[in-house]
């Protein structure tokens, strides 16, 4: 009906708007040059702490006023919380060494480590579509990296690619572990809501980042850099991109609850393509024909995820 269409439009606009804004401003934060000495923002930990605290506060308030319950974050979620925030650290830090289109495509490989962890450690069977997804995404990434004369090859360092690999490995641990812990609540007939999972992981993630900052002696250097009167543009970009990331998570959870994983997968998959497109237009990345073909192969692989979810949904309806 009309209300469902309006809610679907809200989900579509919300996810697209938040994550395209998030991607463009995130890249801008790491490209910012100080008018004082030409230095760039390097304190990824400060930015992560800000994001984790913001996500924690917003999810806490949502749980309190909408769900009308707030559970204390179980200690068992400290591990996926730490791995989740460390994956974000690697991914964000990589932007200092790779172009944003490369980061987006690399993060599209997330199913690869998740599939490996599920098969090797949790004994779950992978489907043919999942294997096809992995093959297509991997081939697409290879094609994207083949052209040595492109902007991608000039700006992407081996260290940056290793950071993205580390982020993927941590994602491979985080997702299945979160699911395993959430199943424990389901067995007790007390299912965990997505925003409660968001609260738990960001709470422990914020503690992990704060501890890392103390151990590394980073203290307030990053905060002082952000708050410098000559860095007002950077502060605004960091604030808006963090808010966009938080709101994006809420739109994802809203879409998942209202329309299911198939609709969510369709929206998020197409969103990644347009994020790359906007990054190319705004920051002038030069991508060759082979690289655009690689992007197309990656998104063909991502579409298989939607096909599989559709098949699962149809099977469940027929039962």
pTM to 2 decimals?
0.78
Q: How far apart are CA 180 and CA 124, in angstroms?
A: 12
Q: What is the DSSP string of 25-64?
A: HHHHHHH-B-TTT--B---HHHHHHHHHHHHHHHHHHHII
- CA distance from start to end of the chain: 26
pLDDT in tens, the chain (319 residues): 688 888 889 999 999 999 999 988 988 898 899 998 889 888 899 999 999 999 999 999 999 999 899 999 999 999 999 999 999 999 999 988 888 888 888 877 776 777 777 777 777 777 888 788 778 877 887 777 665 555 444 456 889 889 998 998 898 888 888 888 888 887 777 788 888 989 999 999 999 999 999 888 877 888 899 999 999 999 999 999 999 999 998 898 788 777 766 577 667 777 877 888 888 888 877 778 888 888 888 888 878 877 777 777 677 777 6
Q: Say which residues have a Cβ less than 8 Å from residue 299's Cβ, sequence separation at least 6.
A: 108, 140, 269, 272, 273
């Amino acid at each position: 009906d009309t209300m469902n269409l309006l809610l679907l439009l809200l989900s579509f606009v919300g996810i697209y708007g938040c994550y395209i804004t998030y991607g463009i401003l995130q890249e801008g934060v790491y490209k910012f040059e100080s008018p004082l000495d030409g230095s760039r923002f390097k304190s990824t930990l400060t930015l992560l702490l800000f994001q984790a605290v913001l996500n924690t506060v917003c999810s806490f308030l949502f749980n309190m006023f909408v769900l009308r319950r707030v559970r204390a974050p179980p200690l068992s979620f400290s591990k996926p919380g730490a791995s989740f925030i460390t994956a974000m650290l690697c991914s964000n830090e990589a932007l200092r060494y790779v172009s944003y289109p490369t980061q987006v495509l690399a993060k599209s490989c997330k199913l690869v480590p998740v599939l490996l962890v599920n098969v090797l450690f949790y004994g779950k069977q992978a489907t043919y579509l999942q294997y096809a997804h992995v093959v297509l995404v991997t081939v697409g990434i290879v094609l994207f990296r083949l052209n040595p004369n492109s902007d991608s090859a000039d700006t992407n360092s081996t260290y940056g690619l290793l950071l993205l690999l580390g982020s993927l490995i941590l994602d491979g641990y985080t997702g299945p572990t979160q699911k395993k812990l959430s199943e424990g609540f389901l067995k007790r007939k007390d299912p965990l809501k997505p925003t409660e999972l968001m609260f738990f992981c960001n709470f422990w993630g914020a503690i992990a980042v704060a501890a890392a900052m103390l151990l590394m002696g980073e203290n307030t250097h990053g905060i002082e850099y952000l708050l410098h009167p000559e860095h007002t543009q950077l502060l605004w970009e960091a604030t808006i991109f963090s808010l966009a990331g938080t709101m994006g998570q809420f739109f994802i959870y809203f879409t998942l609850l209202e329309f299911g994983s198939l609709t969510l997968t369709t929206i998020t998959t197409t969103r990644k393509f347009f994020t790359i497109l906007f990054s190319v237009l705004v920051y002038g990345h030069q991508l060759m024909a082979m690289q655009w073909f690689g992007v197309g192969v990656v998104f063909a692989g991502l579409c298989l995820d939607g096909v599989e979810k559709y098949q699962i949904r149809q099977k469940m309806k027929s039962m």
